[in-house]
Amino acid sequence: MVPLTAPERLLDPPFNVKLSTVIYAFGYNGSINDNTTLPVINAYLEYKQRYDLNVVLMNWEREARIVVPLNLIGAAIQYPTTAILNTRTVGGELGAALVRLSELGLDLDKVHLSGHSLGAHLMGYAGKVTRSSGKIIPRITGLDPAGPLFEGPVSLVGLQPGDARFVDVIHTNPIFLGDPDRLGDVDIRFNCDMLHQPGCPRNYIESCSHFRAPLYFAESINSPRGFTTVQARTCLDWRSGRNNRDGRILYWGENIDTQARGTYYIRTNRSPPFERGLNGIRP
Protein backbone atom coordinates (compact mmCIF):
# COMPACT_ATOMS: atom_id res chain seq x y z
CA MET A 1 0.00 0.00 0.00
CA VAL A 2 1.35 3.42 -1.00
CA PRO A 3 0.21 6.54 0.90
CA LEU A 4 -0.75 9.56 -1.18
CA THR A 5 1.72 11.60 0.84
CA ALA A 6 4.60 9.49 -0.52
CA PRO A 7 3.60 8.84 -4.14
CA GLU A 8 7.18 8.20 -5.23
CA ARG A 9 6.94 4.78 -3.57
CA LEU A 10 4.46 3.78 -6.27
CA LEU A 11 7.27 3.90 -8.83
CA ASP A 12 8.92 0.76 -7.48
CA PRO A 13 8.59 -2.35 -9.68
CA PRO A 14 6.32 -3.77 -10.99
CA PHE A 15 4.89 -0.28 -11.67
CA ASN A 16 6.12 1.06 -15.02
CA VAL A 17 5.82 4.81 -15.65
CA LYS A 18 5.83 4.30 -19.43
CA LEU A 19 2.71 2.12 -19.45
CA SER A 20 -0.91 3.21 -19.36
CA THR A 21 -2.26 3.54 -15.81
CA VAL A 22 -5.82 3.00 -14.59
CA ILE A 23 -6.87 4.14 -11.11
CA TYR A 24 -10.23 3.13 -9.63
CA ALA A 25 -12.06 4.43 -6.54
CA PHE A 26 -15.08 2.76 -4.91
CA GLY A 27 -17.87 4.81 -3.36
CA TYR A 28 -19.48 5.65 -0.03
CA ASN A 29 -18.99 2.91 2.57
CA GLY A 30 -17.20 0.78 -0.03
CA SER A 31 -14.19 -1.44 0.46
CA ILE A 32 -11.37 -3.04 -1.49
CA ASN A 33 -13.01 -6.46 -1.18
CA ASP A 34 -16.68 -5.73 -1.78
CA ASN A 35 -18.71 -7.36 -4.53
CA THR A 36 -18.65 -4.33 -6.81
CA THR A 37 -14.98 -3.35 -6.40
CA LEU A 38 -13.52 -6.79 -7.06
CA PRO A 39 -15.24 -7.27 -10.45
CA VAL A 40 -13.69 -4.02 -11.72
CA ILE A 41 -10.19 -4.87 -10.49
CA ASN A 42 -10.42 -8.46 -11.72
CA ALA A 43 -11.59 -7.25 -15.12
CA TYR A 44 -8.60 -4.94 -15.37
CA LEU A 45 -6.23 -7.72 -14.30
CA GLU A 46 -7.69 -9.87 -17.08
CA TYR A 47 -7.27 -6.97 -19.51
CA LYS A 48 -3.67 -6.60 -18.31
CA GLN A 49 -2.88 -10.10 -19.57
CA ARG A 50 -3.42 -8.85 -23.14
CA TYR A 51 -2.45 -5.19 -22.87
CA ASP A 52 0.19 -4.48 -20.25
CA LEU A 53 -0.77 -1.59 -17.96
CA ASN A 54 -0.59 -0.43 -14.35
CA VAL A 55 -3.73 -1.17 -12.29
CA VAL A 56 -4.14 0.92 -9.12
CA LEU A 57 -6.97 0.65 -6.59
CA MET A 58 -7.61 3.76 -4.51
CA ASN A 59 -8.06 2.44 -0.95
CA TRP A 60 -9.99 5.10 0.94
CA GLU A 61 -12.04 2.69 3.07
CA ARG A 62 -11.41 4.58 6.30
CA GLU A 63 -12.43 7.93 4.83
CA ALA A 64 -15.48 6.56 2.97
CA ARG A 65 -16.96 4.28 5.62
CA ILE A 66 -19.75 4.71 8.14
CA VAL A 67 -18.48 4.53 11.72
CA VAL A 68 -21.84 5.20 13.39
CA PRO A 69 -24.52 2.45 13.32
CA LEU A 70 -25.30 1.39 9.74
CA ASN A 71 -28.86 2.65 9.34
CA LEU A 72 -30.59 5.51 7.58
CA ILE A 73 -30.04 7.92 10.47
CA GLY A 74 -26.38 7.00 10.79
CA ALA A 75 -25.84 7.34 7.07
CA ALA A 76 -27.64 10.68 7.01
CA ILE A 77 -25.27 11.99 9.69
CA GLN A 78 -22.03 10.48 8.42
CA TYR A 79 -22.50 11.21 4.72
CA PRO A 80 -22.41 15.04 4.78
CA THR A 81 -20.26 15.52 7.87
CA THR A 82 -17.46 13.11 7.05
CA ALA A 83 -17.66 11.24 3.75
CA ILE A 84 -18.25 14.23 1.48
CA LEU A 85 -15.51 16.26 3.19
CA ASN A 86 -13.14 13.33 2.84
CA THR A 87 -14.04 12.99 -0.83
CA ARG A 88 -12.72 16.46 -1.53
CA THR A 89 -9.65 15.97 0.68
CA VAL A 90 -8.63 12.58 -0.70
CA GLY A 91 -9.37 13.66 -4.25
CA GLY A 92 -7.15 16.69 -3.81
CA GLU A 93 -4.37 14.54 -2.39
CA LEU A 94 -4.65 12.17 -5.35
CA GLY A 95 -4.43 15.09 -7.75
CA ALA A 96 -1.31 16.40 -6.01
CA ALA A 97 0.20 12.90 -6.04
CA LEU A 98 -0.41 12.61 -9.79
CA VAL A 99 1.30 15.95 -10.37
CA ARG A 100 4.28 14.77 -8.32
CA LEU A 101 4.40 11.44 -10.16
CA SER A 102 4.39 13.26 -13.49
CA GLU A 103 7.46 15.17 -12.33
CA LEU A 104 9.08 11.80 -11.61
CA GLY A 105 8.33 10.38 -15.03
CA LEU A 106 4.71 9.18 -15.04
CA ASP A 107 3.09 9.87 -18.41
CA LEU A 108 -0.17 11.61 -17.46
CA ASP A 109 -1.34 11.30 -21.06
CA LYS A 110 -1.77 7.60 -20.35
CA VAL A 111 -3.79 7.89 -17.12
CA HIS A 112 -7.47 6.93 -16.86
CA LEU A 113 -9.32 7.68 -13.61
CA SER A 114 -12.64 6.02 -12.78
CA GLY A 115 -14.84 5.93 -9.72
CA HIS A 116 -18.25 4.87 -8.48
CA SER A 117 -20.67 7.07 -6.51
CA LEU A 118 -18.61 9.36 -4.25
CA GLY A 119 -15.54 7.82 -5.88
CA ALA A 120 -16.58 9.50 -9.12
CA HIS A 121 -16.58 12.91 -7.44
CA LEU A 122 -13.26 12.06 -5.77
CA MET A 123 -11.78 11.57 -9.23
CA GLY A 124 -13.33 14.84 -10.31
CA TYR A 125 -11.53 16.65 -7.49
CA ALA A 126 -8.29 14.91 -8.47
CA GLY A 127 -8.78 16.15 -12.01
CA LYS A 128 -9.43 19.70 -10.83
CA VAL A 129 -6.22 19.78 -8.79
CA THR A 130 -4.20 18.26 -11.61
CA ARG A 131 -5.60 20.78 -14.07
CA SER A 132 -4.88 23.71 -11.74
CA SER A 133 -1.19 22.73 -11.94
CA GLY A 134 -1.24 23.09 -15.72
CA LYS A 135 -1.60 19.37 -16.41
CA ILE A 136 -4.73 17.51 -17.46
CA ILE A 137 -5.87 13.90 -17.21
CA PRO A 138 -7.03 12.45 -20.55
CA ARG A 139 -10.12 10.63 -19.25
CA ILE A 140 -12.28 10.34 -16.16
CA THR A 141 -15.16 7.86 -16.02
CA GLY A 142 -17.94 8.49 -13.50
CA LEU A 143 -20.07 5.49 -12.55
CA ASP A 144 -23.45 6.75 -11.30
CA PRO A 145 -21.86 9.69 -9.43
CA ALA A 146 -23.45 10.29 -6.02
CA GLY A 147 -26.51 12.52 -6.13
CA PRO A 148 -27.34 13.56 -2.54
CA LEU A 149 -26.01 17.10 -1.95
CA PHE A 150 -24.46 17.17 -5.44
CA GLU A 151 -27.67 17.81 -7.39
CA GLY A 152 -30.17 20.67 -7.51
CA PRO A 153 -29.90 24.46 -7.78
CA VAL A 154 -27.92 24.77 -4.53
CA SER A 155 -25.43 21.93 -4.45
CA LEU A 156 -21.80 20.96 -4.15
CA VAL A 157 -19.63 20.87 -7.25
CA GLY A 158 -18.28 17.42 -7.96
CA LEU A 159 -17.34 15.70 -11.20
CA GLN A 160 -17.97 17.91 -14.23
CA PRO A 161 -16.78 18.45 -17.81
CA GLY A 162 -13.31 19.95 -17.85
CA ASP A 163 -11.97 17.82 -15.00
CA ALA A 164 -10.31 15.79 -17.77
CA ARG A 165 -9.98 16.15 -21.52
CA PHE A 166 -12.85 13.69 -21.76
CA VAL A 167 -15.37 12.90 -19.04
CA ASP A 168 -17.83 10.05 -19.58
CA VAL A 169 -20.58 9.35 -17.07
CA ILE A 170 -23.11 6.56 -16.78
CA HIS A 171 -26.39 6.91 -14.87
CA THR A 172 -28.09 3.86 -13.33
CA ASN A 173 -29.98 5.20 -10.30
CA PRO A 174 -30.57 8.93 -10.91
CA ILE A 175 -33.87 9.02 -9.02
CA PHE A 176 -32.44 7.94 -5.66
CA LEU A 177 -28.69 7.60 -5.01
CA GLY A 178 -27.20 8.91 -8.27
CA ASP A 179 -27.03 12.40 -9.75
CA PRO A 180 -29.55 12.86 -12.60
CA ASP A 181 -27.80 15.91 -14.07
CA ARG A 182 -25.50 15.95 -17.08
CA LEU A 183 -22.01 15.67 -15.61
CA GLY A 184 -19.83 14.65 -18.53
CA ASP A 185 -18.95 15.31 -22.12
CA VAL A 186 -20.87 12.09 -22.69
CA ASP A 187 -23.68 10.94 -20.39
CA ILE A 188 -25.07 7.44 -20.89
CA ARG A 189 -28.47 6.73 -19.38
CA PHE A 190 -28.88 3.03 -18.81
CA ASN A 191 -32.44 1.77 -19.29
CA CYS A 192 -33.78 5.28 -19.76
CA ASP A 193 -33.46 6.39 -16.14
CA MET A 194 -35.80 3.67 -14.87
CA LEU A 195 -36.27 3.64 -11.11
CA HIS A 196 -34.94 0.06 -11.07
CA GLN A 197 -32.35 -1.46 -13.36
CA PRO A 198 -33.54 -4.75 -14.93
CA GLY A 199 -33.10 -7.58 -12.46
CA CYS A 200 -33.06 -5.31 -9.39
CA PRO A 201 -35.71 -5.51 -6.62
CA ARG A 202 -38.69 -3.20 -7.08
CA ASN A 203 -38.53 -1.46 -3.73
CA TYR A 204 -37.86 2.26 -3.43
CA ILE A 205 -35.01 2.28 -0.93
CA GLU A 206 -32.54 -0.08 -2.55
CA SER A 207 -29.00 0.21 -3.80
CA CYS A 208 -28.96 -2.54 -6.43
CA SER A 209 -29.46 -0.10 -9.32
CA HIS A 210 -26.76 2.22 -7.99
CA PHE A 211 -24.32 -0.68 -7.72
CA ARG A 212 -25.07 -1.91 -11.23
CA ALA A 213 -22.82 0.90 -12.53
CA PRO A 214 -19.47 -0.71 -11.57
CA LEU A 215 -20.75 -4.10 -12.77
CA TYR A 216 -21.59 -2.64 -16.18
CA PHE A 217 -18.16 -1.00 -16.19
CA ALA A 218 -16.41 -4.26 -15.32
CA GLU A 219 -18.15 -6.02 -18.20
CA SER A 220 -17.24 -3.24 -20.63
CA ILE A 221 -13.50 -3.49 -19.92
CA ASN A 222 -12.99 -6.78 -21.74
CA SER A 223 -15.83 -6.45 -24.21
CA PRO A 224 -14.49 -6.42 -27.80
CA ARG A 225 -16.27 -3.14 -28.59
CA GLY A 226 -17.93 -2.14 -25.34
CA PHE A 227 -21.60 -1.42 -24.67
CA THR A 228 -23.55 -0.30 -27.74
CA THR A 229 -25.42 2.97 -27.08
CA VAL A 230 -27.35 5.40 -29.26
CA GLN A 231 -27.58 9.18 -29.09
CA ALA A 232 -30.92 10.84 -28.41
CA ARG A 233 -31.97 14.21 -26.99
CA THR A 234 -34.30 12.76 -24.36
CA CYS A 235 -35.57 9.47 -23.04
CA LEU A 236 -38.90 10.18 -24.75
CA ASP A 237 -37.17 10.64 -28.09
CA TRP A 238 -35.30 7.39 -27.61
CA ARG A 239 -38.41 5.46 -26.61
CA SER A 240 -40.38 6.88 -29.53
CA GLY A 241 -37.64 5.87 -31.95
CA ARG A 242 -37.19 9.41 -33.30
CA ASN A 243 -33.41 9.34 -33.03
CA ASN A 244 -32.72 5.64 -33.25
CA ARG A 245 -32.53 5.29 -37.03
CA ASP A 246 -30.17 8.18 -37.61
CA GLY A 247 -28.77 8.58 -34.09
CA ARG A 248 -25.06 8.23 -33.59
CA ILE A 249 -23.92 4.91 -32.15
CA LEU A 250 -21.26 5.05 -29.44
CA TYR A 251 -19.43 2.06 -28.01
CA TRP A 252 -18.80 2.61 -24.31
CA GLY A 253 -15.68 0.81 -23.13
CA GLU A 254 -11.91 1.06 -22.96
CA ASN A 255 -11.70 2.32 -26.54
CA ILE A 256 -14.54 4.84 -26.43
CA ASP A 257 -14.45 7.64 -28.99
CA THR A 258 -13.25 10.56 -26.87
CA GLN A 259 -14.45 13.04 -29.49
CA ALA A 260 -18.07 12.06 -28.82
CA ARG A 261 -20.43 14.45 -27.07
CA GLY A 262 -24.04 14.32 -25.90
CA THR A 263 -26.50 11.97 -24.22
CA TYR A 264 -26.80 8.30 -25.11
CA TYR A 265 -29.20 5.50 -24.21
CA ILE A 266 -29.02 1.74 -23.83
CA ARG A 267 -31.17 -1.15 -22.63
CA THR A 268 -29.52 -4.03 -20.78
CA ASN A 269 -30.25 -7.61 -19.82
CA ARG A 270 -31.39 -8.51 -16.32
CA SER A 271 -28.20 -10.48 -15.60
CA PRO A 272 -24.70 -10.90 -17.08
CA PRO A 273 -23.88 -10.52 -19.83
CA PHE A 274 -25.72 -7.21 -19.51
CA GLU A 275 -24.83 -5.88 -22.97
CA ARG A 276 -27.34 -6.65 -25.76
CA GLY A 277 -25.46 -5.44 -28.83
CA LEU A 278 -27.64 -3.64 -31.36
CA ASN A 279 -30.73 -4.93 -29.56
CA GLY A 280 -29.71 -2.72 -26.66
CA ILE A 281 -30.31 0.49 -28.59
CA ARG A 282 -33.92 -0.49 -29.30
CA PRO A 283 -36.21 0.69 -26.47
Residues with a catalytic annotation lie at 117, 144, 210
Q: d(Cα 256, Cα 274) in Å, to the nearest integer? A: 18
Pairing between strand 249-252 and 227-231?
antiparallel
Task: Give the number of residues written for the chain.
Answer: 283
Q: d(Cα 158, Cα 29) in Å, to the nearest integer? A: 18
- The interaxial angle of helices 37-48 and 208-221, nearest 10 deg, is 0
Closest by CA to 20, choosing from 110, 113, 112, is 110
SS3 per-residue string spanning 215-274: HHHHHHHCCCCCEEEEECCCHHHHHHCCCCCCCCEEEECCCCCCCCCEEEEECCCCCCCC
Q: d(Cα 161, Cα 186) in Å, to the nearest integer? A: 9
Question: CB burial class (10 A; 0-12, 13-18, 19+) of residue 142?
Answer: buried
Helices (H), 55-180: 61-64, 72-78, 84-103, 118-132
